[in-house]
Structure 1
Amino acid sequence: MIIDIPDTTASKVAKGLVKIREEGGQVALGRVLNLVVIARPEEIESSIQAANAASSEHPCRVIVVSDSGPSESTALDAQIRVGGDAGASEVIVLKAASEVVRHTDTLVMPLLLPDAPIVAWWPSIVPSKPSAEPIGAMAQTRLTDSVNSDSPEANLRTLRDNHVPGDVDLAWTRATVWRGLLATALDQPPFEPVQSVEIEGDSSHPSLDLLGAWLGKALDVRVTITGIPGAQGLTRVLLRRASGDIEFSRPDGKRATLRQPNMPEQHINLPIRSLEECLAEELRRLYPDVFYSEVLIDGLPRVETKP
């Protein structure tokens, strides 16, 4: 069910939501968190789709705030979605002029579930310091997505300079499976040092930088990233060792091949992770990701990118 409420206030929207629950038998008892999404107008629907998919595992109240552009008006247009149009969540969409949206904390305060964690998510806008944003200061977890931003590499380094515990970028989450596979391969004999690491793929994709930073920090080596024209994300990781190299190759973005000395080739299903999967993973952990913090701050200087 979708209900439009034009020219309203956040308090009226909150009362409207209570009335809908009372009349329709909807309850909020199972909601475990507040997910506040700061979205551009063109990404409202894709953000709601990802949140609805993640809500099957994490029932939540989703509040989407979108800037409708400069205006002298302080009018707020809202929409409430419940039932089949909201997955296991309640979705509230707020569209307001830029001046109103600047005060996101005041705007969403009446709509937050009390005593529930707050997660702030910017699907493509990357604030230079998420924790300093009005809603970021309220949130326990702050999710950015430099992959979808206008300047991925520059934004990743800005996030590094202004990082505080609780910040996480979904470029890190997109590399979770790669980290698991590489850790498993290195946990097999012979247990000898890795001399260098080479990574190939879309050089503008920040997941390559973060995976390289993780490997560089964990193995105490320099990491080289080489851009491959037309690549789909991360396509190849090569770990050089004295007894022979470990190589993961995924040229098609779907299936990876593992090659190791004196071992038969292994083929592994490794599709590019969806936004829904990454969002659901981060909503499982409502506490600071210590490993991400260390990799972002200490690991990135070890990465060298070639054109």
Structure 2
Amino acid sequence: MIIDLPSTSTSAINKALVDLRDSGGAVALGRVLTLVVITDDAHAENAISAANEASREHPCRVLVLARGNKRGAARLDAQIRIGGDAGASEVVVLRAYGPLVEHGETTIVSLLLPDAPIVAYWPGTAPDDLRTDPIGRIAQRRITDSAEARDPAKALEARRSTYRAGDTDLAWTRLTNWRALLAAALDQPPYEPVTGITVAGAPDSPSTELLAAWLAAKLKAPVVRARTRKGTGVQSVRLERKSGAVELVRPDQTVATLTQPGQPDRRLSLARRPVKDCLTEELRRLDPDEVYGEALADGLPQVRKKVMSVRDAENAGKLSATRTTAARQAAAERASAKVSASMKGAPPEPERGDGMAPSAAETTTAQTPAKKAAAKRTPAKKAAGTTTSRRRTTAKGATA
């Protein structure tokens, strides 16, 4: 059922909601939260459809603030949707015009459910700083979608610079299956450290950036970000290890192939997740997503962003992995040498100027000439000592 209320007020909307509950025989509301959707007329219907699907798992009141033209007289048009047109919720669509466009928070305050959490959702362009947005300040969770912004890279950077607990991004939610598959692959033997990471994806894909940032923050390994053609999303991930690389490749955005050393290739369903699934997942939790915050703050600055092909990126990742492995082996050898020297009671070997301890062969070679010289000088010293002793004895005898 859809009820239109043109040129109305918030008090008239509240009265209409009460009348609908009374006429429908409902004596209580089973709503767990208020979902506030801030959008425009172009994105309103898609956002309402996603909210209706999400409400089947999370019954809520959906307030859609569709901002219209700022010019003209102040006017508020409303539309109430219940029953089959609202999923398991009640939807109130508010279309503001004129000066009311800049004062949306005053429009929705009187329509919020009492004593219920507030979740704000921007399906399109979101404010640069959610902390200063009037609706963002009163919400426990703030959901954005960098992929739908005009400039996804700029939007993602804005999310990083203004992040606070409670923020999340549907570009991050789309990675849930990717992260689960990669974590499961690394949770199997051999339990070796990852020495290099290559993540390939479209240049306009914030999900690819977040996946690379998450891997950099968690695995503490160098990351190479390769860029494919636009519109391809996340395409592949390669994790370098001593026993071989772990690869997850999705060439057609539908089916992916997981490759691991010593195991047969596995084909997995890994299609792009729709908005309704991502929104439903985000509404399951009202606490801060600490992993997302860590990926933004710690991982994103570590990602090396260079325009290169996937093959060049993989070669760069292999080279970086080789250098990292060599450095770790050298450090282990130096530590082992120091431990051996301390156990024998000898002082540890001095380090060279390049930071590497001299090898046993170098030490033997360096000491051999000195030992030979000392050996040659020994007979001469002994002879000189004997002659001096005889002279002193003869002198003493003559004096006596």
* TM-score, normalising length: structure 2: 0.75
For 2:128 and 2:222, how far apart are their aligned partners in 1?
Answer: 27
For 2:231 and 2:13, how far apart are their aligned partners in 1?
Answer: 45
Structure 1 residue 52 and structure 2 residue 52: aligned?
yes
For 1:145 and 1:223, how far apart are their aligned partners in 2?
Answer: 24
> Residue 57 of structure 2 contacts residue 280 of structure 2 at CA under 8 Å; is this kept in 1?
yes
> Residue 54 of structure 1 contacts residue 277 of structure 1 at CA under 8 Å; is this kept in 2?
yes
Who is 2:122 aligned against?
A: 122
SS in 2 for 1:8: coil
Who is 1:293 aligned against?
A: 293
Give the C-alpha shift of residue 72 in structure 1: 3.8
Who is 2:313 aligned against?
A: none
SS in 2 for 1:217: helix
SS in 1 for 2:6: strand
Who is 2:67 aligned against?
A: 67
For 1:30 and 1:213, how far apart are their aligned partners in 2?
Answer: 39
1:250-269 matched pairs, under 5 angstroms: 250-269=250-269
Who is 2:212 aligned against?
A: 212
Give the C-alpha shift of residue 171 in structure 1: 0.7
Query: Which has the higher relative contact order, 1 or 2, with Cα contacts under 8 A spaced 6 or more apart?
Result: 1
Q: 1:96 to 1:176 in 2, by over 3 A?
A: same
For 2:122 and 2:99, how far apart are their aligned partners in 1?
Answer: 18
Q: 1:28 to 1:147 in 2, by over 3 A?
A: farther
Q: 1:100 to 1:187 in 2, by over 3 A?
A: same
For 1:67 and 1:248, how far apart are their aligned partners in 2?
Answer: 42
Give the C-alpha shift of residue 26 in structure 1: 4.7
Who is 1:18 aligned against?
A: 18
For 2:226 and 2:98, how far apart are their aligned partners in 1?
Answer: 40
Structure (1/2) with the larger strand percentage: 1
Structure 1 residue 172 and structure 2 residue 172: aligned?
yes
Percent sequence identity over aligned pairs: 50
Query: More deviation in 52-61 or 28-37?
Result: 28-37
Who is 1:111 aligned against?
A: 111
Give the unaligned 5+ runs of structure 2.
308-400
Aligned length: 307
For 2:145 and 2:231, how far apart are their aligned partners in 1?
Answer: 19
Give the C-alpha shift of residue 104 in structure 1: 2.1
Q: Deviations over 1:34-68 (max 9, x none)?
A: 00000111111000000001111001100000111
For 2:198 and 2:277, how far apart are their aligned partners in 1?
Answer: 27
SS in 1 for 2:49: helix
Q: 1:142 to 1:28 in 2, by over 3 A?
A: farther
Give the C-alpha shift of residue 71 in structure 1: 2.3
Q: 1:143 to 1:28 in 2, by over 3 A?
A: farther
SS in 2 for 1:103: helix
Structure (1 or 2) with the larger CA radius of gyration: 2
Give the C-alpha shift of residue 28 in structure 1: 5.5
For 1:12 and 1:57, how far apart are their aligned partners in 2?
Answer: 29
Who is 1:147 aligned against?
A: 147
SS in 2 for 1:102: helix
Give the C-alpha shift of residue 24 in structure 1: 2.4
Who is 1:224 aligned against?
A: 224
Q: Output the aligned Cα RMSD.
A: 1.2
Who is 1:95 aligned against?
A: 95
Who is 1:39 aligned against?
A: 39
Q: Which amino acid aligns with 1:14?
A: N
For 2:65 and 2:98, how far apart are their aligned partners in 1?
Answer: 11
